Amino acid sequence: MNEGEIKSGSNVKNEIWEFVKFAVISMLIVIPIRLWIAQPFIVHGDSMIPNFENGDYLIVDEVSYQFRRPERGDVIVFRYPKNPSQFFIKRIEGLPGETVGNITLASDEYYVLGDNTTASSDSRYWGPVKENLIIGRAFLRLWPVASLGVL
């Protein structure tokens, strides 16, 4: 538009309609991905140092475990067993049916530890994680940019 030019009412309505269509289509794409395929999470704390730092921005894959079970060494995000409104990130060290220390894991339980065991609240203190509390596995690091990559 040139200075002093105005738009007709029908042009404004068309632009609004185009914006609404764009917003609806975007939500129809983004919401299912966010709910069932991948979620962003930010690492809080030092329990996963040196592999994950406080403030790392991760994308968590929620699909893989629909097709396979979690494996030893996977870094998972899960709901904290003592308070399911909180999310934790840890590495799987014990699989269902195994005995870790004096704990025998049930068919739906995993033993998890932080990589920085001296600064980690993990299965050593509050027990195993039930499979239904697992959100997914850490898949992609987006921040910091210097550490960007598939995990």
Q: Which residues are catalytic?
A: 47, 90
Structure tokens at 42: 């930010």
End-to-end CA distance of the chain: 48
Sign of the CA dihedral running 29, 32, 33, 35 = positive
Q: Using alpha carbons only, how large is the chain's radius of gyration in Å?
A: 22
Q: Taking a C-beta distance cutoff of 8 angstroms, is the pair 115, 52 a contact? A: yes
Q: Is 48 in a helix, a strand, or coil?
A: coil
- Exposure string of 37-68, with b = 16+ CB inside 10 Å and e = fewer, is ebbebebebbbbbebbeeebbbbbbbeebeee
